[in-house]
Chain A
Amino acid sequence: MKDNRLISVQDLKVYFRSNATTARAVDGVTFEVDREETVCLVGESGCGKTVTALSILGLVPVPPGDIAGGRILFKGQGLLDLDDNNMQSIRGNHIAMVFQEPLTSLNPVFTIGDQISEAISIHKNIDTGTQRERCVQLLRDVGIAAPEQRLNDYPHQLSGGQRQRVMIAMALACDPELIIADEPTTALDVTVQDQILRLFKYIQKTRAMSILYITHDLGVVTHIADRVYVMYSGVIAEQGFTSQIFNHAKHPYTRGLLASLPSRSKRGKRLYSIPGSVPDPAHKPEGCPFHPRCPHAIPSCWSEYPQMCDYGEGHLARCPVLFEKTKKTIDDK
């Protein structure tokens, strides 16, 4: 079982310090991604999901950022201890990233052929002819029509969906074992989003890769994820297999999010809405970070930091209050 683990993040803490305050963006996050698995990290803006992804690749700017604690093990190797050179050989080669906004992450003054072959030439020592062939093959794999001609196009000549396909082709260039995709479909239309999600599933299947998919959209999660981690205010609130999270959510935040999603079947009924708003990472509430918005909060939630409660079969939720309640109902039965 141990060999199957690709990456494991243990109690990661990333703080951003300024003169007056410390923003605890990531505050003790633990998760794993196994081989050939698609894992989703879901959360609202400001919950620390992007910072988590950036710290895996060693891209958090220090200072103001500060990796305050924790470990990141990639195939057993600690990534946080590596120097820049060694990190460089992992970044892009073993772990690649696809960003949210393809137009700003592609260089406007180089052709897409140049940019994909750059990714290859940094890590692999092969001649330009082979590089070109490989670029064409990659573009074909990600579903770009007439790839030979497209190689000489500049990013502005492509549509949003095509740009994201090029980004994915770049990420695939060195056959990485893990792709981190940070909200790759947020800027796209629904129909294009559907195509890109299918593409992710397709490459995941054909190349036997792992994907860490970061999103705020619960709908997307059901499309693509094997397992889900729900993040709230820098911590994992709940984790489990997709069906566990969507059908038997155990954390009040997850439950609230699911209940608040509008859909056709809820027509005429009032939507549940979580009161209040996401806490500022620099001024988090004491105790459970969700307690000011939680309908189940009891006095102990105000002071005690909640522990992860194990519901079995890999389903965990950070809410002892609901855990006690479910245990009671099981005991009563």
Chain B
Amino acid sequence: METRHTPQNIILKVEDLKKYFPIRRGFFQNIRGWIKAVDGVSFEIERGKTLGLVGESGCGKTTVAWLILKLLKMDEGRIIFRDTEISELSEKEMKPYRQEMQMVFQDPYGSLNPRMTVGQSIEEGLSILGIKSRKKRKEHLKKLLEMVGMSTNSSDRYPHEFSGGQRQRIGIARALSVEPSLVICDEPISALDVSIQAQIINLLKDLQDQLELSYLFISHDLNVIGYLCTTISVMYKGLIVESASAEALFSHPYHPYTISLLSAIPDPESSVKKEVKLPARDFSDTLIPPDGCNYQGRCPMDEPRCGQEDLIFTEVEKDHFVRCWKVPKNNV
């Protein structure tokens, strides 16, 4: 397989990633159709930068994360980490890359083993890293706990003794124990209390500066994404519909879905109440999207042409891509 040259500062490149899940019905569990959870997703993450993946629940953001980590087998596509294509690697060949890519999960209650002390949980990663000496491991553990702002005597305690925010810190320490260069954060703060969220966001930011980490930050919260991310990709039903730098996306979004997302942000900074309109339309979801644009039916600018045109991801401005034929294409 040809290996295309990737620039040095690109740490992860995903090309045309696809994952379909079968819908099985009936006594013989025959396949009756396919859910296109991820239907051709491509993006790049630069070293030391943060890519935000936004979208509503069920749009396929978490599936993308699982595919990158090869926790799920992809149907099609390429994943290139640094210069190596990892999509075809065997479990054994994958091992060094697993260390490089780590994940911080959404639920800090479910993602720590309740029967292991915090120290054991984190040390598990250290022994995988090949640190055999117990003394060295303990030193390392101490350093990790300090790094995430936990007291060093917490290593002998069990997860249930900690609050949600503390558990999320432990989850982060665990991810960092194998010294990764890319961390995938899947909704890392949405299960936390409002006053704790800022603590974790600050921690993630500090760690990025200290360790030159790259993040793939998955969230549905545009306020957090807008604060934290360098570039943003908006996902809708398995496809990225718009992708741009954070500034460009917030100041002039093009795709009607992005526009509706941005206008739906509850913004505490504008204390002006929005005017009351008639009750918004009830958009019933269809499982299998029609031909053409997958936003049909919910789009306020719907036209017959949307059902025929095969949409391409068009660059409307420099590094600003949109998947909608209505967007002017002449200002590149």
Interface residues of A (CB under 8 A from B): 44-45, 141-145, 159, 161-162, 165, 189-195, 197-199, 201-202, 205, 216-224, 242-243, 246-247, 256-258, 260-267, 270-275, 277-278
B277 beta carbon closer than 8 Å to chain A: yes
- Contacts A190-B221, A219-B223, A266-B227 known; list 15 others, CB within 8 Å: A145-B281, A145-B284, A189-B56, A194-B263, A194-B266, A195-B279, A198-B277, A199-B279, A216-B193, A218-B268, A219-B265, A222-B267, A223-B266, A260-B197, A274-B195
- B282 A143 Cβ-Cβ under 8 A: yes
Chain B 185-198, CB-CB to A under 8 Å as 1, else 0, gives: 00000000111111
Give complex CA distance A50, B320 in Å: 44
Q: How many residues of B contact A (CB 8 A)?
A: 48
Chain B 248-275, CB-CB to A under 8 Å as 1, else 0, gives: 0010000000001101111111110110
Residues of B within 8 A of A273 (CB): 195, 198-199, 202
Residues of A within 8 A of B282 (CB): 143-145, 161-162, 165, 195
Give complex CA distance A168, B246 in Å: 36
Give complex CA distance A265, B282 in Å: 32
Give complex CA distance A45, B246 in Å: 31
- B150 CB to nearest A CB, Å: 13
- B248 CB to nearest A CB, Å: 12
B288 beta carbon closer than 8 Å to chain A: no
Give complex CA distance A219, B223 in Å: 10
Query: From residue 102 to 118 of chain B, which have CB atoms closer than 8 A to chain A?
Result: none
Residues of B within 8 A of A265 (CB): 269
- A257 B194 Cβ-Cβ under 8 A: yes
- B198 A274 Cβ-Cβ under 8 A: yes
Residues of A within 8 A of B196 (CB): 277
Of A142, A191, A194, A260, the residue contacting B194 (CB under 8 A) is A260
Give complex CA distance A190, B285 in Å: 15
- B268 A264 Cβ-Cβ under 8 A: no
- B193 A45 Cβ-Cβ under 8 A: yes
B301 beta carbon closer than 8 Å to chain A: no
Residues of B within 8 A of A142 (CB): 279
B308 beta carbon closer than 8 Å to chain A: no
Give complex CA distance A223, B284 in Å: 24
Of B194, B226, B276, B279, the residue contacting A267 (CB under 8 A) is B226
Of the A-B pairs whose beta carbons lie under 8 Å apart in the complex, a sample of 19, sorted by A's number, is A189-B220, A190-B56, A202-B276, A205-B276, A219-B267, A221-B268, A243-B271, A257-B195, A260-B197, A260-B198, A263-B223, A263-B226, A263-B227, A270-B202, A275-B199, A277-B163, A277-B166, A278-B193, A278-B195
From B246, B260, B268, B269, residue with most partner A Cβ within 10 Å: B268
Residues of A within 8 A of B276 (CB): 198, 201-202, 205
Chain B 7-27, CB-CB to A under 8 Å as 1, else 0, gives: 000000000000000000000
Residues of B within 8 A of A257 (CB): 194-195
B299 beta carbon closer than 8 Å to chain A: no
- B255 CB to nearest A CB, Å: 13
- A242 CB to nearest B CB, Å: 6
Residues of A within 8 A of B221 (CB): 190
Residues of A within 8 A of B166 (CB): 277
B332 beta carbon closer than 8 Å to chain A: no
- A262 B201 Cβ-Cβ under 8 A: yes
